[in-house]
Structure 1
Amino acid sequence: MTDQLKVLVTGAAGQIAYSLLYSIANGDVFGKNVSVSLILLDIEMMQEALGGVVLELQDCALPNLKKITATCNVQEAFTDIDYAVLVGAMPRRQGMERKDLLKANAKIFKEQGKALENYAKKSVKVLVVGNPANTNCLIAATCAPSISKENFTCLTRLDHNRAKAQIATRLEVATSAVRNVIIWGNHSSTQYPDVRHATVSVGDEAKPVPLVVKDDAWLNGDFITTVQKRGAAIIAARKLSSAMSAAKAICDHLRDWHFGTPKGEWTSMGIYSNGSNYGVPENLIYSMPVKIDENGYTIVDGLEIDDRSRVRMDATANELLEERNEAMKFLSQSD
């Protein structure tokens, strides 16, 4: 093993983490030449279940897994970490209003942001998964001012993968044949799945998705709403939220962030907006297309935005502005 990484996963006794931890520990994310120390954080009442997760990881006998630390202590969890995968969050319960969810999570991610500030490496890369992921990510970044805002991202790769899969299924091709879809905005039902710049491999040629699909009504209608509402559809069918597909998307996000995106391809990540790209307001975590190399990610700039797309992109930005303003009220009240 030539490298070592300390990787924190919060909500580590939950169902997403249960689908995620094996892939991280097995070298499927950071490479087979990297040894991983896993730090598993969950609340005190989940420590018995977390202990069971540790036993299973031990029984996997994985050569890349150097050490497992299970804890409910925030300082122990965040000290000197290289990656933070913040999965744990307060779920929305029946009868709970959105402002109640924002208030509960503002407290959680304020604490975790401060823990990143006080204990983590300044180079730490942070992926927020717990919903509302964009706003939770912004709260954590705000509470860790000495860590670059570029080091904070939220998960929209699940939506990105869903969009690819819908196109691939429609055209009866492999998902690997579909490239450069975009998820704009919030990881919510206002997100905008955009395939206007995407391509699909037909033989040896990459052709524009709209040209191959030949159904603008579907692309501007059912395709978008299916991706937007996919999470709700899974809950309705399973009576549980996405776990397997979310874990896969987390792995995809982390792998690309660590190794870079393939040449000529981009992915979707919720990233900090400084107000200079695509008319997205400053101080939001907003999903955009990015290319990644050894120097980090860069926004794919210069893509044409038509009037219909502008309306959708602004709508999801406005939702994020409302969430941000509500969350910041809760932060100021708790100071």
Structure 2
Amino acid sequence: MLASGEVYGKDQPLSLMLLGSERSYGALEGVAMELEDSLYPLLREVTIGIDPVEMFQDADWCLMIGAKPRGPGMERADLLNANGEVFQVQGRALNESASKDCKVLVVGNPCNTNALIAMENAPRLARKNFHALTRLDENRAKCQLAMKSGKFYTSVSRVAIWGNHSTTQVPDFLNAKIGGLPAMNQIKDLEWFKKDFTPTVATRGGALIKKWGKSSAASTAVSIADAIRALVVPTAPGDCFSTAVCSDGNPYGVQEGLIFSFPCRSKGDGDYEICNDFILDDWLRSKIKATEDELSQEKSCVSHLIGLDGGSCAIRGAPDTTVPGEK
């Protein structure tokens, strides 16, 4: 799904271009009808098509929602390669026809490395304008902190997700706040943070699908809107938002050239900066290093799709770290 037209100012008109395949064209027509019937006041037109170069023409925002699902017998390495070929094509199309200032948000999993592939195949676009969705993980973390503390979720702030959107992700409780005070002072239970909070956030998608029989939909849609809003509305003083972005020049020593989730802040102009004032203890550093290593391995698996020589895929045969329920 693509949105063309500036969205930073108030009351700016919006044109949507929906990209799909011949197989999904009928479904796209249904989505277009629903959007038209919803009477969104700023929506001016909805266009659908199957040619990415045509659909990306002059796009200011690109939301890459879908990805190829896991098939029978497929390992994570196979999924990376299958989706990587799609995002290589999408990246080249962005490079050819999108606005040079286009902001790209990848939702289709494995979203971090899919975003990396698109970025590396779109050198005309700024590397920092590529995002992978980890706002859903942030929202899940805020929910858990709110329920544990008996507070409403709006009292929870400064919650960051580090690294990959996988079970190696690191929800940061060390820097989180509840009611403006450190979360660890409000919930005085370090074991809960390490052994309950952290894995619960990482596997929340699996827990949902066991209860409901479907993967997350409403919460994902809300988190996509939250992710965009975070870039077009100034971040509250002292707060942050989570998004996976290019790690080049980051202040935490994470390997450069990855799409890695960091705590960020924005002035509301579509741009952002990585927060440089987060405290890391030994436990948090070790968890961040593990998710960094995983993303580095994923990058090596798709080296042939991003113009790198000599890569190998060390994750083949390794334990699966895909977020359960989001395969």
Whether these two folds match at TM > 0.5 is: yes
For 2:163, give the aligned amino acid: G
Match of 1:322 in 2: 297
Are the counterparts in 1 of residues 161 and 263 from structure 2 also a CA contact under 8 Å?
yes
* Higher share of residues assigned strand: 1
In structure 2, what is the Cα distance between the partners aligned to 1:188 and 1:282? 19
Q: CA deviation at 1:259?
A: 2.1
Q: CA deviation at 1:60?
A: 1.9
- Percent identity between the two aligned chains: 42
Distance of 1:200 and 1:302 partners within structure 2: 18
> How far is 1:330 from its partner?
4.6
Q: Structure 2 matches for 1:37-48, cutoff 5 A?
A: 37-48=15-26
Q: 2:177 aligns with which of 181, 195, 199?
A: 199
Which structure 2 residues correspond to residues 142-221 of structure 1 after superposition, within 5 A?
Answer: 142-201=120-179, 206-221=180-195
Which runs of 4 or more aligned residues in structure 1 lie more than 3 Å from their structure 2 counterparts after TM superposition?
Answer: 29-32, 330-333
Q: What is the CA–CA distance in structure 1 between the aligned matches of 2:251 and 2:107, rounded to whole Å?
A: 24
Following superposition of structure 1 onto structure 2, how do residues 239-278 of structure 1 map, counting pairs within 5 Å? 239-278=213-252
Q: What corresponds to 1:53 in structure 2?
A: 31
| Residue in structure 2 matched with residue 226 of structure 1 by the alignment | 200
Amino acid paired to 2:278: L
Structure 2 residue 259 is matched with structure 1 residue 285? yes
**Root mean square deviation of aligned Cα:** 1.8
- Say whether the 8 Å CA contact 1:106–1:330 is kept in structure 2: yes
Question: Is the contact between residue 284 and residue 321 of structure 1 (CA under 8 Å) also seen in structure 2?
Answer: yes
Matches of 2:77 and 2:47, distance apart in 1: 34
Match of 2:286 among 298, 301, 311: 311
Rate the CA distance shift 1:276–1:52 in 2: closer, same or farther, 3 A. closer
Instruction: Give TM-score, length-normalised by structure 1.
Output: 0.87
Structure 2 counterpart of 1:20: none
- The corresponding residue for 1:12 is none
CA shift for structure 1 position 263: 2.2
Letter in 2 for 1:37: S
- Candidates 115, 118, 136, aligned match of 2:96: 118
Contact residue 129 and residue 154 of structure 1 kept, 8 A: yes
Which sections of structure 2, spanning at least 5 residues, go unmatched? 309-327
Counterpart-to-counterpart distance in 2, 1:291 and 1:87 = 23
Residue 128 of structure 1 corresponds to 106
Q: Number of residue pairs matched?
A: 305
Q: Separation in 2 of the partners of 1:58 and 1:181? A: 36
Counterpart residue type for residue 135 of structure 1: T
1:61 Cα deviation from its structure 2 partner: 2.6
What does 1:94-109 correspond to in 2, within 5 Å?
A: 94-109=72-87
